A and B are shown apart, each in its own frame.
Chain A
Amino acid sequence: MGYQWNGQEIAADEEGYLTDLSQWNPELALLIAEDEKVNMTDDHWEVVNFLREYYDEYQIAPAIRVLTKALKKKLGEEKSTNKYLYDLFPYGPAKQACKIAGLPKPTGCV
């Protein structure tokens, strides 16, 4: 599976995670989000950008439990609950948001 973006074929694995993380860009993110039936708002971007920063620092896509804890520290209680995140990404915040962020599937996500 892959994505057609800007006349290029962007490779992805069978679940839709990008093969080469360096090919990610915000427009491609919108395309992946469309496939996931997620309508990207500022709130979605906040989570996606946070995941990219986390990956940049730790070279790992955090499990949901770790994501909520880290988000709480950064954005506060309201924007870090499971409910808030599942409202944004109904098929699993860590899985879906990581895919849109161009990151691998989270480690510790079975």
Chain B
Amino acid sequence: MSDTKRFLYVNRKAPHGTIYALESLEVVLIGAAFEQDVSLAFLDDGVFQLIKKQATTGIGVKNFAPVYRALGDYDVKKIFVERESLEERGLSEDDLMEITHENDDEEDVSSVEIVDRARMAEIMAAQDVILSF
């Protein structure tokens, strides 16, 4: 398709307490049907969305964290996480869940790339459309 656009979904908020994280995820999954070039960015408190072993029973809401692992099935293969945002919250790559997709050789490879703030700015500058949640 020649009219493919680059879409970046920017996630800045913690997973629960507001509806932004879940809404973003749903828009991504619905948008995936349109076969655009899709990337996801996680920065600020948004990095908490990808923490592994989330448990939400105590706060009485659905745990939608496992849905992120289905992104590969929806052909969403580029997930950028800002290194500074992780560090400012005492987190590292090891705290994040594994999200993979199948490459052309049918091997499961990681979709998550940790990038620094300067690289994140470049990624944003290269997009046609940015949707911020």
Residues of A within 8 A of B (CB): 57-60, 62-63, 65-66, 69-70, 107-108, 110
Contacts and interface: CB of A to CB of B under 8 A. Distances in A.
B64 to A, nearest CB: 6
B29 A107 contact: yes
Contacts of A66: 70, 73-74
Contact of A70 (B26, B66, B69, B73): B73
4 nearest A-B pairs in the assembled complex, by CB-CB distance: A58-B70, A59-B66, A66-B73, A107-B29
Nearest to A56: B66
B118 to A, nearest CB: 34
A57 B68 CA distance: 11
A110 B32 CA distance: 12
Given A59-B63, A59-B66, A69 B30 contact: no
A62 B73 contact: yes
Nearest to A59: B66
24 contacts: A57-B69, A58-B67, A58-B69, A58-B73, A59-B62, A59-B64, A59-B65, A59-B66, A60-B67, A60-B70, A62-B73, A63-B32, A63-B33, A63-B74, A65-B33, A66-B70, A66-B74, A69-B73, A107-B26, A107-B29, A108-B30, A108-B33, A108-B74, A110-B30
Nearest to A55: B66
Given A66-B73, A69-B73, A70-B73, A107 B30 contact: yes
A70 B73 CA distance: 8
Nearest to B106: A73
A35 B72 CA distance: 34
Nearest to B67: A60
A59 B69 CA distance: 10
